[in-house]
Structure formats: structure tokens, C-alpha cells
Structure 1
Amino acid sequence: MSLSPHTTPSGFRLPSIHAAPPFFTQQPNPATQAVATEQWSRLILSYAKHRNLFTIKVEDAQTTGGDWDEILRNDRINRKLNTSYLAYILEQMERSCRLAFDPPKQSISAVLYWRTPEEWAEVLHEWATSTGQLNTILTFYEIIEPPVPSPLSGVPMSILRRAINLLIKSNRAQLIAVADGEGVRFLNGSTSK
């Protein structure tokens, strides 16, 4: 089989390296492994963005028919990522701030940052502005489960909280206590930091 890009059933274009059997095996040479880890990191994040996936678990490497099958396995070359290698990749991604283990103090399940928390803060504020939500109190649920799908639909609570906290620091949001817990009011505010 030649090393060439491949388009998955979901329309995601896999890089040619995905057709190389060694790509699915942890490499003994540290320099080679660093390059492979970077390639896996970019692949995981771009695929997550393509599929609007926010979480990954070490067990996804072994789950047949799961959300991550298209990239964590390659049936054309009879290869799949094993759980220990995926765990290693996720730990490296956490070190480079590309994900956060959620819940904290474990390394099995993670929330992916295919957008940085700062980028999510901008998306959140732009959404609030474009939908006329400035100076309106919204619950967190209304943001992540809006009646009309938005770029924030389904975003994990941990990402939403980080984005809101960044907006609070730039005077573009404030937390408000509401009957069902917490809410947020978006403000025009300054974007200077």
C-alpha cells in the first residue's frame, strides 16, 4: 500500500502518515517519537474539530465502532493504536496545553482544546453579541444547548467556565446567581488585557 492521503466516510482527510504501520507504534528513538506525537496531536485535534468532538478517553483506542475509529485504527493496513500509546499521546498533549484531563487528577478521560480557551472566549462573546445577548442573563445550559445550533452547542462545561472566566478578566462578562445555579451576563467591555 502506498503512503497517500485517504478520505474517511465522515469526509475527514487523513494524512499520508496514517497509512504507515510504524505510526501506530510507540517509537524507541526520542526524536522520532517526538515527531510522531506532534503528528498524532494535530491529527486528534483536527479530527475532533471536524467531528465536533470534545472528549477522548484512553479506552477509545479499543472501542470498535466509536467516534474515534476513523483515526485510531486503519483497517486498510490492519493497524490500530493501543491504549498505552494513546495514554502517552494524551499525557504529552496535556503537557502542551492541548487538552485537560477531566475530571482532574486522572489521565484516562480528557477534554480537547481544538480551540484554546482564549479562542472559545472570543467565540462566546461574538455569539452573545451577534445574537443580541449583551446585558441579558443566560444560564450555562442556555449557552451550551441553545434552541438554534451555534458554535457553542455541546461545549463541555469546563471549557465554558474557562471561557467565561477569561471574559470576566477582560470586563466582558460577569457571573450572576440564578435560580438554577449560575448564569452569566455578557458585557460590551474592553478587550484589553
Structure 2
Amino acid sequence: MASSLSPYTVPSGFLLPSIHSAPPFFTQQPNPTTQATVTEQWTRLILSYARHRNLFTMRIEDAETTGGDWDEILRNERIRRRLLPSHLSYILSSMVSKNLASYEPAKQTRSVLLHWRLPEEWAEVLHEWATSTGQLNTILTFYEIMEPAIPSPLSGIPVPLLRNAIGVLGKTGRAQIISIADGEGVRFFPRSGK
């Protein structure tokens, strides 16, 4: 039966690791050491799949309903297994404790923002985008960044992640949040010569 444990490419083009074909992978393990390994593997899988599909949010409901963005990894019909909501909740809690996700909105534990890029990485992506598109020294709304006319790596980025990235750039003098008529905007500055 071990031969069935092989990597598998799902319709989105994502390559699932061979562990995804092992039934125990979908079950919370009683042994803490084994569960820690399973949680680490699920964490890597969730973050790499989110990056592949440009997904920012995961909810406990994703394990309960079919037809969602996460079906390809939360279910394996070939072995008739799916991740249970309680197990997903445990994994997301572990990810939050390691700063690989954050509960959003705050004060609840059923929905997270996934940190498949750290705020510092988003800051570099954001500044590179602003530089390459000629947006330095102009004021942009958050919407113009999140929903650009030409799709970019920032398309669809949630406001909390965008705000964190701008905060990182602000500390190095490369961005500043500006109050504008319909909310907030941001101005980007060239990288200083220091």
C-alpha cells in the first residue's frame, strides 16, 4: 500500500506532498510528538498552497463545507479523508502562536489571515511595486493598491497585511500614511542612499 503514497498534482496545478495520501495525516494524533510533526507538515502545506493560490484567509468553516478554495488540500477523496474542523482549529491555533497567521477579525478563533509572506517581505514587494509602476511621491488609496488596474502581487491583499507592510516601510522612511478625503492613503518615497 505504501506505493500509493506519492505526490499528486491537483487541478489548480499545486503538487500535494506524499504525506497527503496517508490517512493518519487527516487525524489528530494522540502522541504529542507525532501531532507536532503533523501540525508542522499541515502548516507548510497550508502556507505554500495559500501562496500558490494567492489566498489570504482561512476559516474553520472551510473544513466543514465543500466547494471552497481549500477543498484541494483539506480533502483527499482518493483515500476518503478530510480534515475535521477541530483538527483545523488546532493547526490554526498553532500557526497563530508561531506568528504564521493571525486571528482576523481579532477576538475570535474561527478565521485567520495567513502570513505566507512576513510583513517585511510584503513591505519589499509593496515598495518594489510602487517603484516599478512609477508611484513614488504620489498618494495612493489602499483600494488602488489592493485592486490595481493591472493585477500585481498585491492584488487582493487584506488591509491589515497592507497596513503592516506600510508600517515596516514607514520605519525606514520609505512610506507614510496620509489622511485623505475618503479615508487613508499612502505615499511612497525612494529608498534612501544610506
TM-score (ref. length: structure 1) = 0.97
Alignment RMSD (CA, Å):
1.1
* Whole-angstrom distance in 2 between the partners of 1:113 and 1:10: 21
Q: CA deviation at 1:147?
A: 0.6
Distance 1:191 1:17 in 2: 48
Residue by residue, what CA displacement relative to the aligned partner does 1:125-167 show, whole Å, maximum 9, x if unpaired? 0000111111010000000011111110000011000000111
In structure 2, the residue matched to 1:170 is 172
1:132 matches 2:134: yes
Q: Distance in 2 between matches of 1:179 and 1:138?
A: 12
State the partner residue of 2:145: 143
Q: Is the 8 A contact 1:128 1:134 kept in 2?
A: yes
Alpha-carbon offset, residue 191 of structure 1: 8.7
Pick from 18, 27, 30: which aligns with 2:29? 27
Q: Distance in 2 between matches of 1:36 and 1:61?
A: 17
Report whether the alignment pairs 1:36 with 2:38.
Answer: yes
Of 180, 187, 190, the residue aligned with 2:189 is 187
1:36 partner SS: helix
* Gaps in structure 1 of 5+ consecutive residues: none
Work out the CA distance in 1 between the residues paired with 2:124 and 2:94.
26
Q: Is the 8 A contact 1:172 1:191 kept in 2?
A: no
Q: 1:100 aligns with which of 80, 99, 102?
A: 102
Does the 8 Å contact 1:24/1:81 carry over to 2? yes
Shift of the 174–191 alpha-carbon distance from structure 1 to 2, 3 Å rule, reads: farther
Q: Say which SS state the counterpart of residue 27 (structure 1) adopts.
A: coil
- Give the drift of 1:124: 0.2
Distance in 1 separating the partners of 2:45 and 2:69: 14
**Aligned residue type for 1:3:** L
How far 1:63 sits from its partner (Å)? 1.1
**Shift of residue 190, structure 1, vs aligned partner:** 3.9
C-alpha separation in 2, matches of 1:165 and 1:182: 13
Secondary structure at the residue paired with 2:67? coil
Residue 189 of structure 1: how far off its partner (Å): 3.7
Corresponding residue for residue 119 of structure 2: 117
From 47, 60, 63, the equivalent of 1:61 is 63
Normalised to the residue count of structure 2, the TM-score between the two structures is 0.97
Name stretches of at least 5 consecutive residues in structure 2 with no aligned partner: none
1:18 partnered with 2:14: no
Kindly report structure 1 stretches of 4+ aligned residues shifted beyond 3 Å.
189-192
Which one-letter code corresponds to 2:72 in the other structure? Answer: E
Count how many residue pairs are aligned between Structure 1 and Structure 2.
192
Deviation track 1:82-103 (CA, whole Å, cap 9, x = no partner) reads 0000000000000111111100
Letter in 2 for 1:185: R
1:124 partner letter:
L
